[in-house]
């Protein structure tokens, strides 16, 4: 009976390790993709002559579009800053997820470090969602800043991605707090021989 329980647990732990390893690889593969995409976006915005090569030549504002080449350097620089902020937040979330996968791979479920990482990942995701929500109106304002007064646009949109990031972030924060309780139980269990 005890042997059966032990082997079931061992299989479960192996499954967790495998899942964590696969996720770590997937996230690690996403990091260079994110860097390349951000670099292409920044290049397209800053140097419109390169945009033709990358395919990113316009930016959407509400229902219309505007070519990067029509924007002033100040506008393009502001858009670049927005893109870099989004990159930093996405990179932070991905890297934190990678760290969490590494800790789970090492079967470190209830350590102070992994609990902190879960809460940190939740915070990164919430920040991503909030920034995504704020970036649309900011970007539309920057792009239409050179329009005459009365024609400038502030485009406020909420899409599924933002709601998903926000919900997932809140859920992870909640999981972090629940795991803190689980860690207390695990610690108490360690003191029973």
Q: Which residues in this chain contact other proteins in the complex, by CB under 8 A?
A: 2, 188, 191-193
Cα gap 143→134, rounded to integer Å: 15
**Smallest separation, CB 192 to other proteins (Å):** 4
**Choice between 2 and 73, CB closer to other proteins:** 2
**Smallest separation, CB 113 to other proteins (Å):** 23
**Smallest separation, CB 2 to other proteins (Å):** 8
**Choice between 149 and 193, CB closer to other proteins:** 193
**Choice between 29 and 193, CB closer to other proteins:** 193
Contact 144, 61 (CB under 8 A): yes
Cα gap 83→161, rounded to integer Å: 17
Helix (H, G, I), strand (E, B) or coil at 2: helix
What one-character DSSP code corresponds to residue 184? H
**Choice between 149 and 189, CB closer to other proteins:** 189
Contact 138, 83 (CB under 8 A): no
**Smallest separation, CB 12 to other proteins (Å):** 21
Contact 80, 45 (CB under 8 A): yes
Strand partners, 60: 65
């Amino acid at each position: 009976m005890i042997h059966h329980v032990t082997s079931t647990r061992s299989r479960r732990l192996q499954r967790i390790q495998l899942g964590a390893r696969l996720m770590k690889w997937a996230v690690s593969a996403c990091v260079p993709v994110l860097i390349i995409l951000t670099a292409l976006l920044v290049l397209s915005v800053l140097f419109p002559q390169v945009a033709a090569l990358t395919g990113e030549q316009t930016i959407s504002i509400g229902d219309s579009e505007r070519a990067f080449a029509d924007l002033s350097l100040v506008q393009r620089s502001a858009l670049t800053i927005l893109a870099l902020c989004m990159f930093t937040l996405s990179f932070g979330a991905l890297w934190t997820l990678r760290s969490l996968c590494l800790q789970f791979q090492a079967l470190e479920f209830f350590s102070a470090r992994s609990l902190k990482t879960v809460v940190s990942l939740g915070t990164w995701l919430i920040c991503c969602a909030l920034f995504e929500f704020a970036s649309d109106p900011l970007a539309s304002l920057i792009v239409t800043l050179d329009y005459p007064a009365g024609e400038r646009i502030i485009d406020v949109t909420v899409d599924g991605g933002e709601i998903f990031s926000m919900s997932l972030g809140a859920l992870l924060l909640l999981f972090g707090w629940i795991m803190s309780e689980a860690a207390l139980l695990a610690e108490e269990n360690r003191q029973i021989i």
